[in-house]
Chains A and B, each alone.
Chain A
Amino acid sequence: MTISTEEVYDDGPLYEAAKKVIPQKIWGTYRRIKWIVLWIALGVYYVLPFIRWNRGPNAPSQAVLIDIPHSRFYAFFIELWPQEVYYFTGLLILAALILFLSNALFGRVWCGYACPQTVWTDLFFWVERFIEGDRRDRMKLDAAPWTPDKVLRRVAKHAAWLVFALLTGGAAMLYFVDAPTLIREFVTFQAPFVAYLWAGILTLTTYSLAGHLREQVCLYMCPWPRIQAALTDNDALNVTYRFDRGEPRMSLKDAAKAHAHGEAAGDCIDCLQCIAVCPTGVDIRKGSQLGCIQCGLCIDACDAVMTKVHRPTRLIAYDTDENRERRKRGEANVYRLIRPRTILYVAVIALTGGVMLYALLTRTNSHLSVLHVRAPLFTQTAQGGIRNGYTLRFSNKLSEAEDFTLDVSGLKGAAMTSAMAKPLDGGRLTVRVDPDSTLEVPVYVTTPPDVTPARSSPLTFTATDAKTGERSVVVDNFFGP
């Protein structure tokens, strides 16, 4: 490796203290959207656990509940069992695809508006600003010696943060147990230790993530900025500094001078307001970058300045790379929201959503599964018949006990016996399954003495819910010598 003499030598650090970001208060279109999204998101988050849903006497009455001890997930009319985890897989696929679509259309709107990290950081910024003042005051306070006023403000800020964090942590727990009960027990100190433990854990993580780590989460922990950089394209609407209009940047005074000399001057007056308001401390004028969560606050800041200096707004705006290049060539802007990529995303989203909806609508309240007894595969009975054993598992997802009628077909004259079931007419059996539970029933199928079954022949078990008439069918084989 040859090193030219113009290159500077120094000892580059491998670690350095994170630069403190002290964003300034700003008001405008995007700030308004952010507040609206924030209140909706928090509103849904806090209200959802308190919505009641009547499921009958043997099931919880909370609309949305993740019941870990009983391994059930409830969401309004849906009740999922652990073996139905594919609904969550589908939901995650759907979430990823929607994220991709939103990125192809509007860049990192998720990061900028709806991500919990953004929402809570915004909330914590608001608390901080309320107690310590705006950017300048906070910088002054940072530099100030430890006066009683500074101590008071700092203590107040961290206390307020911890209270907000506790409310957050508490609310997360409301999704795991009956919400009103938990709150009553929690405040009267009768809740189980694990409730306080989790409240503590969630309080601490919220406090440190939203209060202290803030943009560091986006910069160093979150994978999405990396993935997003690989997924974005020239037609995606990203928060963009229109450098074709802004450059060469110069102060108003210099611009006036330049104009007088007939030289070009950009609209950017280099006031650094876009950096001052940025919650992650990036300079948008350097272009799309990892740290930019595309929340649009720099648009609000720049618009305010542009209005003041009587220049057109939207020097920073949601724009595409394609348009920036087109304007350079003197062509008009084009916005192509519908393009092969977005059509494909929508199609796959519709497909996934359709499949999930179909699965959900045709989901049965009972289920039957079968396992052939392997040792022995079959036995010879003293009467001369051949017997196969099966382990059937009945699932009853309803909140009342159900009687199931079991029928077997596929083998002429075959008789079913089971110690766990009562016989009915026509060789059928009846099994009672408790509400919201499963039952394992060993069943033996025996051929008549004069029939020699094939080495293997298919056998069909049908369970019919006596009350609802819902049928579950499973197929297995009957083995002979």
Chain B
Amino acid sequence: MITEPVQVDKISGQTTTGHEWDGIRELNTPLPRWWLWLFYLTIVFAVVYWIVYPAWPLASSYTTGLFGYTNRGRVADDVAAGQAARMQLAAGLETATLAEIAADPKLTEIALAQGKAAFGDNCTPCHGSGGQGQKGYPNLTAGRWLWGGTLDQIDATITHGIRSDDPDAHTSAMPSFGKDGILKAEEIREVASYVRTLDGLEPEQGVDVAAGKKIFADNCAVCHGDDGKGKLELGSANLTTKVWQYGNGIDDLIYTISNARNSVMPAWGKRLDPVTIKSLAVYVHSLGGGT
């Protein structure tokens, strides 16, 4: 039995562990037996845990445990429960019109929360996380709308898209004045300079802005209006604001006039349910630009 002699400390009468540091020996204070049993209990617990829960990796799979518990399944359950709770909250949105939602603070709160989430999932890549847009993608916060900024107009735009494959999509086409040879390069430079003045920007040195104005009246005013403020029914841009979708530098404008942009937005009515689109409309409208 005796594996190693153990010392007894003369002062306390206690045995020591045999460990010594600079002449000081550690007394052996035995742990109570129940402590040891607790340790054995944790081992038993571990074994039970292996049996009940997924535990051991096998060659191509793993031990699944008695009840087939998986973390992934748990997440799926949580998501489903979340969706169910959300559907219950959003039930009121189904029948309410956009105007009714806007008038009811409770419905607005739910619509904003849902819209924010849906916007993050679907719209952010183009329009930016705060709807601020980026070059080529409209700023939704500025109050400058191509196809209208009322709740119903926003809802229609989201549902049917722009130049999408939806038959009800907003559609219009600006000619490529340069590429198609409608205007000469010099004329395009002149009209671009004139367009810059509409927004209060300095025209290019040595360019005949008066000529540009005439070219504008002859070619552009039919869609953008005599005052350059654009027309909602045509989705033509308002050229008199500080906000520009494709930039207001002279080179940007020359490129836009020469080649036209005619960007596309998908019809979300095919991908999202009506309640989500309603929520998106309320959210986009709330970003500051809604009219």
Residues of A within 8 A of B35 (CB): 15, 220
Q: Which residues of A pack against B, CB within 8 Å?
A: 1, 3, 6-18, 213, 216, 219-220, 373-376, 379-384, 387, 389, 417-420, 432, 439-440, 442, 444, 446
Total contacting residues, chain B, CB less than 8 A: 46
Please tell me if the beta carbons of A7 and B7 are within 8 angstroms of each other in the complex.
yes
Write the chain A residue with the least CB distance to B143.
Answer: A382
Please tell me if the beta carbons of B128 and A375 are within 8 angstroms of each other in the complex.
yes
Once bound together, how far apart are the Cα atoms of A220 and B6, in whole Å?
A: 24
Known pairs A15-B30, A17-B32, A381-B243; A8 contacts B285 (CB<8 A): no
Residues of B within 8 A of A8 (CB): 7-8
Please tell me if the beta carbons of B6 and A12 are within 8 angstroms of each other in the complex.
yes
Write the chain B residue with the least CB distance to A7.
Answer: B7
Residues of A within 8 A of B8 (CB): 7-10
Please tell me if the beta carbons of B242 and A380 are within 8 angstroms of each other in the complex.
yes
Once bound together, how far apart are the Cα atoms of A345 and B285, in whole Å?
A: 60
Known pairs A376-B141, A387-B141; A444 contacts B242 (CB<8 A): no
Q: Which residues of B pack against A, CB within 8 Å?
A: 1-3, 5-8, 10, 15-18, 20, 28, 30-36, 102, 105, 108-109, 112, 128-130, 132, 139, 141-144, 238, 241-243, 282, 285-290
Once bound together, how far apart are the Cα atoms of A420 and B112, in whole Å?
A: 9
Please tell me if the beta carbons of A216 and B31 are within 8 angstroms of each other in the complex.
no
Please tell me if the beta carbons of B2 and A11 are within 8 angstroms of each other in the complex.
yes
Please tell me if the beta carbons of A14 and B28 are within 8 angstroms of each other in the complex.
yes
Give the 8 A-B residue pairs with the shortest CB-CB distance, closest first. A12-B15, A419-B286, A382-B144, A376-B132, A382-B241, A9-B5, A18-B32, A12-B6
Once bound together, how far apart are the Cα atoms of A389 and B130, in whole Å?
A: 9
Please tell me if the beta carbons of B6 and A10 are within 8 angstroms of each other in the complex.
yes
Please tell me if the beta carbons of B28 and A12 are within 8 angstroms of each other in the complex.
yes
Once bound together, how far apart are the Cα atoms of A379 and B242, in whole Å?
A: 11
24 contacts between A and B (CB under 8 A): A6-B10, A7-B10, A9-B6, A9-B8, A11-B6, A15-B35, A18-B33, A213-B34, A219-B32, A374-B130, A375-B129, A376-B132, A376-B141, A379-B139, A379-B288, A381-B289, A382-B241, A382-B243, A382-B289, A384-B242, A389-B141, A389-B288, A419-B282, A440-B109
Residues of A within 8 A of B34 (CB): 18, 213, 216
Residues of A within 8 A of B5 (CB): 3, 9-10
Please tell me if the beta carbons of B109 and A439 are within 8 angstroms of each other in the complex.
yes
Residues of A within 8 A of B2 (CB): 9-11
Once bound together, how far apart are the Cα atoms of A382 and B291, in whole Å?
A: 12
Residues of A within 8 A of B108 (CB): 419-420
Please tell me if the beta carbons of B32 and A16 are within 8 angstroms of each other in the complex.
yes
Please tell me if the beta carbons of A419 and B242 are within 8 angstroms of each other in the complex.
no
Known pairs A380-B243, A420-B112; A15 contacts B105 (CB<8 A): no
Please tell me if the beta carbons of A442 and B238 are within 8 angstroms of each other in the complex.
no
Please tell me if the beta carbons of A446 and B7 are within 8 angstroms of each other in the complex.
no
- Knowing that A15-B31, A419-B290, A442-B112 touch, tell me 12 more A-B residue pairs with CB under 8 angstroms: A3-B7, A9-B8, A10-B6, A12-B15, A12-B30, A17-B32, A220-B31, A373-B130, A381-B142, A381-B288, A383-B143, A444-B287
Write the chain A residue with the least CB distance to B19.
Answer: A1
Residues of A within 8 A of B287 (CB): 389, 444
Q: How far is the CB of A65 from chain B (nearest CB, A)?
A: 26
Please tell me if the beta carbons of B36 and A15 are within 8 angstroms of each other in the complex.
yes
**Could you say which of A1, A12, A444 contacts B288, with CB atoms under 8 Å apart?**
A444
Once bound together, how far apart are the Cα atoms of A11 and B8, in whole Å?
A: 10
Please tell me if the beta carbons of A417 and B288 are within 8 angstroms of each other in the complex.
yes
Residues of A within 8 A of B286 (CB): 418-420, 442
